[in-house]
A and B are shown apart, each in its own frame.
Chain A
Amino acid sequence: MNDKEILIKNAMQNIKVPEDRLESLIDDAFYETSKPKENKRKKWLIPTIAAAVLFIGLFTATLSASPVLANYMAQVPVIGNVFSIFAEEEEGLIQYERFSDDVKLTQSSNGVTISIDKAVYDGTNVTFTYTVTSTKELDDSAHLTGFPQLLEGEGPAGSMDWKLVEGSLIGINTIPHLDEEAAQVNVIWEPESLYTDDGEIEGHWKFEFAVDQLKTDPIILDEINSEGGVSVHFTEVTFTDVAVNVAYQQLVEPALLEVWEAVEVELIAADDLGNVYLVPYNGGTTYGDARTREDFFWTATMRGLDPLATSLTFYPFGHISRMEEGKEPESIRIEFDALEINMLEGTYQIIEDPEFPVYDEEEEEK
Chain B
Amino acid sequence: MQHDEEIISAAIQGDRIALQNLLKSEKEKLYRMAYTYVKNEDDALEVFQQTVLQAIESVHQVKEPHYFSTWLVRICINKALAFLKNNKKLIYMDEVEERNLENGATADVAEQLDVSNALDSLPEKFKTALMLRYYQDFTVKQIATVMECPEGTVKTTLHRGLAMLKKDLKGVYADERQRDFN
Contact = CB atoms under 8 A, between A and B. Distances in A.
A5 B135 CA distance: 8
A262 interface: yes
B41 interface: yes
Q: How large is the interface on B (under 10, 10 to 19, 20 to 34, 35 or more residues)?
A: 35 or more
A22 B58 contact: no
A173 to B, nearest CB: 15
A25 B54 CA distance: 13
B2 interface: no
A17 B31 contact: yes
Contacts of B155: 262, 321, 323, 329
A19 B20 CA distance: 15
Contacts of B113: 11, 14
B134 A17 contact: no
Contacts of B36: 12, 15
B27 A19 contact: yes
A45 interface: no
Interface string A309-341: 000000000010101010001010100000000
Contacts of B181: 3-4
Contacts of A72: none
B156 A12 contact: no
A264 interface: yes
Contacts of B125: none
Contacts of A323: 140, 155, 158-159
Given A10-B112, A22-B27, A329 B158 contact: yes
Contacts of B28: 17, 19, 22
B8 interface: no
Nearest to B121: A361
A21 interface: yes
A5 B137 CA distance: 9
A363 to B, nearest CB: 15
B78 A140 contact: yes
Contacts of A12: 32, 36, 131, 135
Nearest to A284: B152
A317 to B, nearest CB: 11
Interface in B126-170: 130-131, 134-135, 139-140, 155-156, 158-160, 162-163, 165
A305 B57 CA distance: 48
A8 B112 CA distance: 8
Given A26-B23, A29-B56, A34 B16 contact: yes
A22 B112 contact: no
B28 to A, nearest CB: 5
A197 B27 contact: no
Contacts of A331: 159, 162-163
B23 to A, nearest CB: 5
A151 to B, nearest CB: 23
Contacts of A11: 112-113, 115-116, 119
Interface in A76-118: none
B109 interface: yes
A366 to B, nearest CB: 15
Contact of A18 (B16, B45, B86, B159): B45
B134 A26 contact: no
A30 interface: yes
Contacts of B135: 8-9, 12
Contact of A15 (B35, B58, B82, B85): B35
Contacts of A262: 155
B131 A8 contact: yes
A202 interface: no
B134 A8 contact: yes
Given A26-B52, A29-B53, A8 B130 contact: yes
B27 A329 contact: no
Contact of A33 (B56, B61, B78, B177): B56
Given A29-B53, A197-B54, A9 B159 contact: no
Contacts of B20: 26-27, 30
A212 interface: no
B100 A14 contact: yes
Contacts of B119: 8, 11
Contacts of A30: 16, 20, 56
Given A4-B180, A141-B78, A197-B75, A25 B48 contact: yes
13 contacts: A4-B165, A4-B181, A14-B105, A15-B35, A18-B41, A18-B45, A29-B49, A198-B58, A319-B159, A319-B160, A319-B163, A321-B155, A329-B159
Given A19-B27, A25-B48, A33-B57, 6 more contacts: A11-B113, A12-B32, A15-B35, A197-B54, A199-B58, A262-B155
